[in-house]
């Protein structure tokens, strides 16, 4: 999970107990903890499900980034992964849509330009960016605490049941 020592539970504390304590004391830290614990693809789906496209204007770079991200989520392939990243470059640096599309780029596959020797992304980077996207979306919302609670519920459901198709 690439967490620092202070973020890890003591050796005698079960992981679930540590998570429950984080959830009660500091929901933002609990979001980071569970977001790093999810598999890469699940973490990206989790973040994408929390970012509301209606929070952006229809022709904005942020809307383009979330639309490209959702195309990759429906049918992940390298071309869509690179398209999401290209769209992210025009979006606001503080926008969760940009961070999500960047997480997709670092989710697997080479990060080198096409036609060059492959370079793999750092392990855990996609999860870290998915968590940042969730935090950015929370602070953009009108109720960050409620947003974090919803994010934790969704992450727990994904951790327990996997990615479920939208109803």
Considering its fold, how many domains does the chain have in total? 1
Tens of pLDDT, residue by residue over 15-35, are 889 999 999 999 999 999 999
Tens of pLDDT, residue by residue over 84-141, are 999 999 999 999 999 999 999 999 999 999 899 999 999 899 999 999 999 999 999 9
| Burial (CB count <10 Å: 0-12, 13-18, 19+), residue 15 | exposed
Query: What average pLDDT score do residues 29-46 get?
Result: 94
The three-state secondary structure class of 25 is: helix
The three-state secondary structure class of 14 is: coil
The three-state secondary structure class of 166 is: coil
pTM of the full structure: 0.91
- Domain-located, residue 20: yes
CA angle, residues 43, 126, 100, in degrees to nearest 5: 75
- Domain-located, residue 167: no
Q: How far is CA 16 from the centre of its chain?
A: 21
Nearest one of 167, 110, 138 to 52, comparing CA atoms: 138
- Domain-located, residue 66: yes
Question: What domain range includes position 119?
Answer: 5-161
């Amino acid at each position: 999970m690439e967490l620092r020592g202070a973020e890890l539970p003591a050796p005698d504390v079960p992981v679930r107990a540590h998570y429950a304590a984080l959830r009660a004391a500091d929901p933002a830290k609990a979001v980071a903890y569970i977001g790093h614990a999810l598999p890469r693809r699940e973490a990206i789906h989790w973040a994408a499900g929390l970012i509301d496209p209606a929070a952006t204007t229809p022709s904005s770079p942020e809307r383009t980034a979330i639309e490209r991200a959702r195309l990759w989520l429906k049918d992940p392939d390298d071309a869509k992964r690179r398209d999401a990243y290209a769209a992210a470059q025009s979006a606001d640096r503080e926008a969760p849509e940009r961070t999500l599309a960047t997480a997709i780029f670092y989710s697997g596959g080479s990060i080198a330009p096409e036609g060059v020797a492959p370079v793999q992304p750092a392990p855990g980077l996609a999860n870290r960016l998915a968590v940042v996207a969730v935090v950015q979306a929370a602070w953009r919302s009108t109720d960050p605490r409620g947003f974090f609670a919803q994010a934790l519920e969704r992450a727990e459901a994904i951790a327990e049941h996997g990615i479920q198709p939208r109803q």
